[in-house]
Amino acid sequence: MSLNRERFPFVVEGMPFIIPPAVITMIAGVWGKSYLLFPFLALTICMCSFFRNPRRRITDGAGLILSPADGTIVGVKKEAGGTTVSIFMSVFNCHVNRAPAAGTIKSIRYRRGMFLPANKGEASRQNEQNAFQLQTPEGLKVRFVQVAGIIARRIVCYMRKGDQVKRGGIVGAILFGSRVDVYLPPRVAVRVHEGERVKGGKSVLGMI
């Protein structure tokens, strides 16, 4: 039976970080070793918080482009070819990534790179990243890119070229602090501003 990532409470790839401190916490509790119990209990809580995968009620509505990640908008850059919206995910944010719209994954391109701080603009150009090209049933093309950061050293992708995704469906994750850039076509009216906090699958980035 395949794992339902929408319902599992944690990012699966985070379990190796959660289980060891949790086991040590239980053993320390049984043995009464408080000098181990409290530090490893705190570590377990931190790991569970970071790798959490909360259930989301996906925002519904015609023509909406949703945020693919939890975090803070660190850039809204308008150009002739459209608008780039950049979302920075700190270590305190949920790091599950979601599809901004329903459609077909037309391509996925992974590129090795540097690990500059993800809240800096040059991270979009120089850091390790994984780019999705999504086409909606209406023919709209939306590109969104998982970008690694100074602490993030692993990009997780659950999709393959040709996969169908629903709006707000889980497509991957980035382990420890990172960034997602969304490239919106000119026909999409942007509904966010720099400094705004957003939630993946809930916050509206733009509207067709």
Catalytic residues: 178
Residue 61, amino acid? G
**Bridge partners, 173 (sequence order):** 96, 156
- Cβ-based neighbours of 3, under 8 Å, separated by 6 or more: 12
Q: Name, in order, each residue with C-beta under 8 angstroms of 12's C-beta and a sequence gap of 6 or more.
A: 3, 5
Three state DSSP letters for 68-131: CCCEEEEEEEEECCEEEEEEEECCCCCCEEECCCCEEEEEEEEECCECCCCCCCCHHHHECEEE
The amino acid sitting at 128 is: E
CA 166/CA 163 separation, integer angstroms: 10
Pairing of strands 82-89, 178-184: antiparallel
